[in-house]
Chain A
Amino acid sequence: MDLLSILQGSLDLLLTWQCMLSILAGLVWGVIMGAIPGLGIVLAIAIGIPFTLMMGAVNGMAFLLAVYEGSIYGGSISAILIGAPGTPAAAATVFDGYPMTKKGQAGKALELALYSSVIGNLVGEVILILVAAQIAKVALKFGPPERFSLIIFALTIIGSSSGRSLPKGLISAAIGFIIAIVGTDEISGSFRYTFNTLDLQSGIGLIPLLVGIFAISELIMIAESRAGQKEAVLAKSPNPEDNRLSLKELRKELRTIFESSGLGVFFGTLPGLGSTVAAFIAYGNAQRRSKNPDSFGTGITTGVAAAESGNNAVAGGALIPTITLGIPGDIANSVLLGAFMLHGLRPGPELFQKHPVETYAIFLTLIASSFMLLVVGKIGIKIFVRFVNITKQVLIPVVLLFCFVGTYSVSTSCFDLGLMVFFGVVGYFLRKFKIPMTPFLIAYILEPIAEAEFMRSLIISAGNPVIFFARPISLLFMVLMVLSVVFTIYRRKKHPPTKDY
């Protein structure tokens, strides 16, 4: 099919009321979930997945990607109003967003965060659309040894950059592999760790695992938290200029926004970093380049613009390796990768060949979603602020019920509900042991592909594992893997990391 026909088909899929409604619903859900401190992007997407399984591939992914974009922006609402980021990605927004609220400029800060988010999203999405197909063409030339080595390299980087402890990161990846192994081996048909249980023969499903590990364990942590809840109020300032962003002020920040967006896209493509790191790097860069760096942190518009455009542009950047190589760079993208697969669209270089119309339709829904976010953010801000004030006494039970009903709806199986609770316990102890979850989930998602490529490689080489070192690109990935571990050990000795996961 030529590109014009593909785009025409994609537009036909996009311009339906069902697709537009899916995007709108996803944005609203995402902004609300992102705005409530403690819930976050991953939980928002994880709980949303079961609801999309009846929607069809394009509408379902449109919803989830809108949740992704909406929740990144939503995190800025509580960051600005109460100084507590709704998502980790909004942590840098607190530095200047909250002081702006204290100066009576909450309305201006929120509007700037919205515009920065939308522009950051669009920059990331345009770059995604321009480069994705080209990267996929190169990746199509990879054979099984290259694909296996690439997965192991990506897992090593993610495992070594997650959390404070390198062994814990790699243990987390190994646990993810083991969980994915449970079930029937696709190649030999053998049952592995099924304990004579019929329900386990099809393996451990993505939804009970995801919802249990992330949502249930997170709800327990919120319940345990003794932190007091501040009230978010969108107060109007007597000075009308404080309540809105002028065109002149926006134009003044455009250079920062585009620069930070570029950084966001770049760091988004690197596995293991994610939107939080990108936001801090963008903020730090804006501060360094400023004529008045000491003003950062006192409530200036440039600080908010840099942080928000940086963390939102990551969405497009991170989708590049996810969609073109099938290798998610962060936890949110690994959840999205799982969702793609549940919808019958397997990300990777073949996606553009097998489902070109659906792929470009999904790209176009991202663009539509960014424009709709502008409208949703402007109109709905007063409603979204109310959600920030939901108490945990109401939040936890309601979200818990959503988790149960959503998981049940996928397979109508009480066994899966039991698995969900079991993985909730597992997720709780992983958090308590400070074992990072990102490598775990990414390894779980990638194991079937990794093992299949490993076996195919051995079939090609008649069982000789030297094939992984004999082919130049595969050897390159193996060398990069070793170098990344060595570099991580060296870097951690010099600058011990401070975050756990």
Chain B
Amino acid sequence: MRDRYIGLVILFTAGLLYYWSYGQIVDVGTSMKGVSSPRFFPRLTLIIMAFFAIVLIYQDLVGRGTKSSGKEALISREMVILFSIAGGFVLSLGTLGYFICAPLLLLCTMLYLGERNWIRIILITLITPAVLYLFFDRILEILLPWGTLLEKLAGP
């Protein structure tokens, strides 16, 4: 992606965050104003960020930007699918729990990446979550979530 577009994205983001600093930096009624205000440091940083975004755009316009390394796509299929699998894991963890989500995560990812050795798939999807569970639950004493579904099935 050309530097001028990256610069525009950064400039836009800096502008948006600066605008939000009016509403999203909530003053809790202190008397701090000016350089002592909680808004000062973020705004100064955003101004510097915007400045260098403009420098980046300028450099690209005058032909001094970094050359892109070919026609590689910004968003790939692997990125979309793997992030979808990760997002699905996060969204379902509370409901389905670790013991269902973890093997599913491993299974979906291995299948998508092309693993077809079923013995390896079964061993990894069963052993890895089990080992991690034992390590966290028994040694570190950190409970991994059972999920509301399993809790309901287990009863009161």
Contact = CB atoms under 8 A, between A and B. Distances in A.
Interface string A389-401: 0011110111011
A450 B20 CA distance: 23
Given A168-B56, A195-B24, A394-B115, A223 B136 contact: no
Interface residues of A, number: 63
B38 A185 contact: yes
A171 B17 contact: no
Contacts of B136: 405, 409
A204 to B, nearest CB: 14
A318 interface: no
Contacts of A192: 24-26, 38, 42
A170 B48 contact: yes
Interface in B71-119: 72, 74, 76, 78-79, 82-83, 86-87, 89-90, 93-94, 98, 102, 105-106, 109-110, 113-115
B38 A433 contact: no
A425 B69 CA distance: 21
A404 interface: yes
Interface in B122-136: 124, 128-129, 132, 136
Interface string A406-450: 001100101001100100110011001111000000000000000
Contact of B30 (A178, A189, A397, A402): A189
B1 interface: yes
Contact of B79 (A190, A195, A428): A428
B42 to A, nearest CB: 5
Contacts of B59: 165, 167
A192 B43 CA distance: 11
Interface string A354-390: 0000000000000000000000000000000000000
B26 A191 contact: yes
B113 A191 contact: no
A486 interface: no
B38 to A, nearest CB: 4
Interface residues of B, number: 68
Interface string A467-491: 0000000000000000000000000
Given A178-B17, A188-B30, A220-B82, A398 B1 contact: no
Central interface residue in A54, A167, A400, by most chain B CB within 10 Å: A167
A408 B7 CA distance: 35
A398 B107 CA distance: 10
Main secondary structure of the interface of A (DSSP, over half): helix
B121 to A, nearest CB: 9
A39 to B, nearest CB: 16
A433 B60 CA distance: 14
B36 A455 contact: yes
B41 interface: yes
A242 interface: no
A397 B129 CA distance: 11
B30 A394 contact: no
A454 to B, nearest CB: 7
A393 B52 contact: no
A414 to B, nearest CB: 6
Main secondary structure of the interface of B (DSSP, over half): helix
B32 interface: yes
A153 interface: no
A391 B93 CA distance: 27
A219 B109 CA distance: 11
Contacts of B66: 164-165, 168, 434, 500
B35 A424 contact: no
Contact of B45 (A181, A425, A458): A181
B113 A220 contact: no
A233 interface: no
B36 A458 contact: yes
Given A192-B38, A194-B24, A392 B1 contact: no
A109 to B, nearest CB: 31
A241 B52 CA distance: 57
Nearest to A171: B52
Given A178-B49, A401-B106, A455-B36, A417 B93 contact: yes
B49 A175 contact: yes
Nearest to B53: A171
A421 B41 contact: no
Nearest to A176: B45
Nearest to B103: A401
B149 interface: no
A177 interface: yes
Contacts of B61: none
A466 to B, nearest CB: 12
A272 B42 CA distance: 24
Interface string B17-29: 1001000111110
B94 to A, nearest CB: 6
Nearest to B74: A432
Contacts of A391: 115
Central interface residue in A171, A192, A451, by most chain B CB within 10 Å: A171
Nearest to B10: A171
Contacts of A424: 83, 86
Contact of B86 (A400, A412, A500): A400
Central interface residue in B17, B34, B68, B89, by most chain A CB within 10 Å: B89
Contacts of A433: 1, 6
5 contacts: A165-B65, A188-B30, A391-B115, A392-B113, A401-B129
Given A165-B56, A171-B10, A428-B79, 19 more contacts: A168-B3, A171-B53, A174-B46, A175-B49, A188-B37, A190-B26, A190-B30, A192-B24, A193-B17, A193-B42, A224-B79, A392-B113, A397-B124, A400-B105, A405-B102, A414-B94, A418-B90, A421-B83, A425-B83
3 nearest A-B pairs in the assembled complex, by CB-CB distance: A174-B49, A393-B115, A397-B109
